[in-house]
């Protein structure tokens, strides 16, 4: 039984963050704005938690009637899951922003982002979905605009392309079905498919438009170019939500394709080597995103850019899993929605703490911070283990399910992409772990202090789920089974069972604890220090020079960068910028030619327009 009447659950979920954000902007006074921000950020998580039992008994619906249209919302088992993930990350974000943000502007647009994302998840018609989608985009754009105009412009242009693509796809669906509510769209598309009322080209066009719209927001390849700059060039506490929750709106959109137009897509696109055609395309988009973004993350020298590309790659796992088109794939993808949110959100809060205390962002400027920031280091270590897919963290459980799903779906190359992505993830987080926390500490970092308490609280909010859902992954899969109404993943709280394998998280945890205890005893009582020459350093066969420095903190993966040199010349970022410059030049030429200040030219334009209209029978 919920402590909140069902009629108030969705309004509280949607409007408290937005109202709190606006008030924080109006009363931009230190202390007041932080209190309002905490209220706006913590209310959704409280409401979601209290609504749990009510949702299990049946969906919660809410309607807003206007003179123009009706907005409908529904909190079902599926939308509750996505909203819960977003609310959890939002609660961590606001604690982080207490320490890193001193502006009512930031609070307003951060909390409007929360309302936008939650509105997308609980929307039950395309009007509501699109309105909250645009609110989410606008608010996040304003956060980036404050700090980097070029990054914000790139994000804005791609978001506009995605928005118009979505609007056109919705219009095409409405033209055929006459419905905008999800139930009506699903029924209408099914009937049209059954009666062959939709052409293949028509359905294919809708599919491509939605791929563009959802792909931009999820940051899938090759639409990912906005994400590295946008994630890097904003308040890093806000990036916790930007990367951890907002990107899930795109993943949720990919999932909606199955429920709303899946039958139509299946009939139009058919199958490919026994796989559902439209899903197969999604799987490969996800796989390519995983590999490309992971390679680019390895090559970064700035911790913000590293985790930005990593965020893109990790969302690729989710799209890949949904693209498998199987129950196990959906389960793995939904689990990774949660695990990615908590480990990547935790990474961004750790990054926020590092930047706040040091003012630095590049690996070459760090070292030895574990001694100065031990709590932050512990939080970072949890995030490292989870992202790298090392048990018993949540990241391993979700990646294990996705890998099992790919094997079960007989897609070995996609499974290989998962394995390669995990190996690359280990490569770049190991560098982060050593370069920032271990080794010699630069003299200008001697006075570094531990992260402030609010940031530590925010990190703890995300660190705890990484451990709890890693040791007891059945807590998550049990709920995912309820979403689909069947036992997709078997086992219990500590054990996951699939048709191809079993993972016992508790046994693995106990073995790791014993192994670490033995290793600790050997280190304390059996290790002996050995002196080595200063010149005994790893240089990959190259001479030891300042120009070729392969220390962990600088150019460590330079040999890989050189090996990938020809591939790195292919840049969609540069391609899009070149297209933008060509479009701008064409528009300037057109403007100079048409708007030349000559009255006779304008008279000829008018005469030509009137002639065309007359020939068409308009006049």
What is the per-residue pLDDT for 460?
A: 95
What is the per-residue pLDDT for 527?
A: 60
**Tokens encoding 420:** 């390669």
Give exposure, 553-570, as e/b (b: 16+ Cβ within 10 Å): bebbbeeeeeeeeeeeee
Beta strands 495-498 and 271-272, pairing class: unpaired
Helix/strand/coil percentages in the chain, nearest 5 = 70, 5, 25
Q: Are residue 288 and residue 411 in the same domain, yes or no?
A: yes
Q: In this predicted model, what pLDDT tens digit does every residue of 58-78 receive, in sequence order?
A: 899 888 887 777 889 999 999
Domain assignment present for residue 303? The answer is yes
Domain assignment present for residue 62? The answer is no
- At 528, the pLDDT band (50, 70, 90 cuts) reads low
Q: In this predicted model, what pLDDT tens digit does every residue of 483-504 receive, in sequence order?
A: 988 888 888 888 888 888 888 8
Domain assignment present for residue 80? The answer is no
Closest CA to 330 of 341, 339, 317, 321: 321
- Residue 413 contacts residue 341 (beta carbons within 8 Å): no
Q: Are residue 580 and residue 507 in the same domain, yes or no?
A: no
Distances (CA, A) of 33 to 98, 352, 366, 398, 534: 9, 20, 33, 37, 53
Is the per-residue pLDDT at 19 higher than 50? yes
User: Average pLDDT, stretch 538-562?
Assistant: 56
User: Considering the entire predicted model, what is its pTM?
Assistant: 0.88
Q: Are residue 577 and residue 509 in the same domain, yes or no?
A: no
What is the per-residue pLDDT for 363?
A: 84
Is the per-residue pLDDT at 521 higher than 60? yes
d(CA 452, CA 99) in angstroms, rounded, equals: 7
Number of domains, the chain: 2
Q: In this predicted model, what pLDDT tens digit does every residue of 241-272 receive, in sequence order?
A: 988 888 889 999 999 999 898 888 888 888 88
Give exposure, 528-547, as e/b (b: 16+ Cβ within 10 Å): eeeeeeeeeeeeeeeeeeee
What is the per-residue pLDDT for 594?
A: 67
Domain assignment present for residue 477? The answer is yes
Domain assignment present for residue 397? The answer is yes
- Cβ partners under 8 Å of residue 267, min gap 6: 193, 203
Query: Residue 601: which region, alpha, beta or left (left: phi > 0; alpha: psi -120 to 50)?
Result: alpha
Domain assignment present for residue 204? The answer is yes
Q: Are residue 236 and residue 341 in the same domain, yes or no?
A: yes
User: Average pLDDT, stretch 186-206?
Assistant: 89
d(CA 306, CA 295) in angstroms, rounded, equals: 10
User: Average pLDDT, stretch 175-201?
Assistant: 89
Give exposure, 7-33, as e/b (b: 16+ Cβ within 10 Å): eebbebbbebbbbbbbbbbeeeeeeeb
Domain assignment present for residue 374? The answer is yes
Q: Are residue 598 and residue 474 in the same domain, yes or no?
A: no
Using a pLDDT cut of 90, give the percent of the chain over it: 34
Cβ-based neighbour number of residue 58 at 10 Å: 10
- At 139, the pLDDT band (50, 70, 90 cuts) reads very high
Is the per-residue pLDDT at 534 higher than 50? no
Among candidate residues 467, 482, 514, the one where a domain is terminated:
514
What is the per-residue pLDDT for 83?
A: 94
Domain assignment present for residue 234? The answer is yes
Task: Give me the domain span that covers residue 595.
Answer: 572-615
User: Average pLDDT, stretch 574-597?
Assistant: 69
Residue 61's DSSP bridge partners are 74
Q: What are phi and psi of 553, to 5 degrees?
A: -90, -10
Is the per-residue pLDDT at 462 higher than 90? yes
Q: Are residue 472 and residue 585 in the same domain, yes or no?
A: no
What is the per-residue pLDDT for 618?
A: 52
**Tokens encoding 197:** 């009322």
Q: Are residue 486 and residue 355 in the same domain, yes or no?
A: yes
Residue 181's DSSP bridge partners are 125
């Amino acid at each position: 039984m919920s402590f909140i009447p069902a009629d108030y659950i969705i309004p509280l979920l949607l409007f408290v963050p937005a109202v709190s954000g606006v008030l924080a902007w109006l009363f931009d006074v230190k202390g007041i704005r932080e209190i309002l921000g905490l209220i706006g950020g913590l209310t959704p998580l409280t409401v979601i938690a209290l609504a749990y039992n009510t949702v299990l008994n049946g969906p919660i619906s809410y309607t807003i009637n206007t003179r123009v249209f009706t907005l409908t919302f529904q909190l079902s088992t599926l939308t509750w899951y996505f909203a819960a993930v977003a609310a959890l990350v939002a609660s961590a974000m606001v604690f982080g922003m207490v320490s890193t943000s001193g502006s009512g502007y930031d609070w307003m647009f951060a909390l409007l982002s929360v309302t936008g994302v939650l509105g997308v998840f609980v929307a039950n018609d395309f009007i509501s979905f699109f309105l909250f989608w645009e609110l989410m985009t606008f608010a996040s754009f304003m956060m980036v605009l404050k700090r980097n105009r070029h990054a914000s412009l790139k994000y804005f242009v791609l978001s506009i392309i995605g928005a118009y693509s979505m609007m056109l796809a919705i219009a095409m669906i409405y033209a055929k079905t006459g419905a905008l509510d999800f139930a009506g769209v699903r029924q209408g598309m099914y009937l049209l498919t059954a009666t062959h009322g939709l052409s293949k080209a028509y359905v294919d066009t809708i599919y491509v438009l939605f791929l563009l719209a959802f792909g931009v927001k999820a940051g899938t390849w090759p639409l990912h170019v906005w994400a590295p700059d946008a994630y890097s060039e904003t308040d890093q506490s806000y990036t916790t939500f930007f990367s951890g929750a907002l990107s899930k709106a795109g993943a949720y959109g990919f999932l909606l394709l199955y429920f709303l137009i899946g039958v139509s897509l299946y009939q139009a696109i058919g199958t490919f080597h026994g796989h559902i055609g439209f899903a197969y395309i999604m799987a490969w988009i996800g796989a390519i995103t995983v590999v490309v973004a992971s390679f680019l993350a390895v090559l970064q020298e700035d911790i913000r850019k590293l985790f930005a590309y990593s965020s893109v790659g990790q969302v690729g796992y989710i799209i890949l899993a949904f693209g498998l088109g199987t129950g196990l794939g959906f389960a793995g993808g939904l689990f990774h929605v949660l695990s990615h949110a908590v480990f990547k959100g935790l990474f961004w809060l750790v990054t926020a703490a590092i930047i706040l205390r040091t003012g630095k962002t590049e690996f070459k400027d760090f070292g030895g911070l574990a001694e100065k920031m031990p709590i932050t280091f512990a939080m970072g270590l949890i995030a490292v283990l989870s992202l790298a897919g090392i048990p018993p963290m949540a990241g391993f459980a979700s990646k294990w399910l996705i890998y099992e799903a790919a094997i079960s779906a007989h897609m070995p190359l996609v499974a290989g992409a998962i394995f390669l992505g995990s190996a690359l993830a280990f490569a770049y987080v190991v560098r982060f772990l050593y370069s920032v926390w271990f080794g010699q500490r630069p003299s200008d970092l001697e006075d570094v202090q531990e992260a402030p308490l609010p940031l530590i609280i925010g990190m703890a909010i995300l660190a705890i789920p990484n451990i709890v859902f890693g040791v007891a992954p059945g807590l998550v899969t049990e709920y995912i089974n309820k979403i689909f109404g069947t036992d997709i993943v078997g086992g219990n709280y500590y054990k996951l069972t699939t048709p191809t394998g079993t993972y016992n998280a508790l046994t693995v945890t106990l073995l790791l604890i014993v192994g670490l205890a033995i290793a600790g005893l050997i280190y304390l009582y059996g290790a002996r220090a050995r002196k080595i020459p200063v010149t005994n350093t790893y240089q990959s066969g190259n001479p030891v020079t300042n120009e070729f420095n392969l220390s962990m903190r600088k150019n460590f993966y330079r040999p890989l960068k050189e090996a990938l040199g020809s591939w790195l010349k292919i840049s969609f970022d540069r391609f899009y910028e070149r297209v933008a410059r060509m479009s701008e030049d064409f528009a300037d030429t057109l403007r100079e030619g048409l708007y030349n200040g000559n009255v006779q030219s304008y008279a000829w334009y008018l005469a030509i327009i009137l002639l065309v209209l007359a020939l068409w029978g308009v006049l």
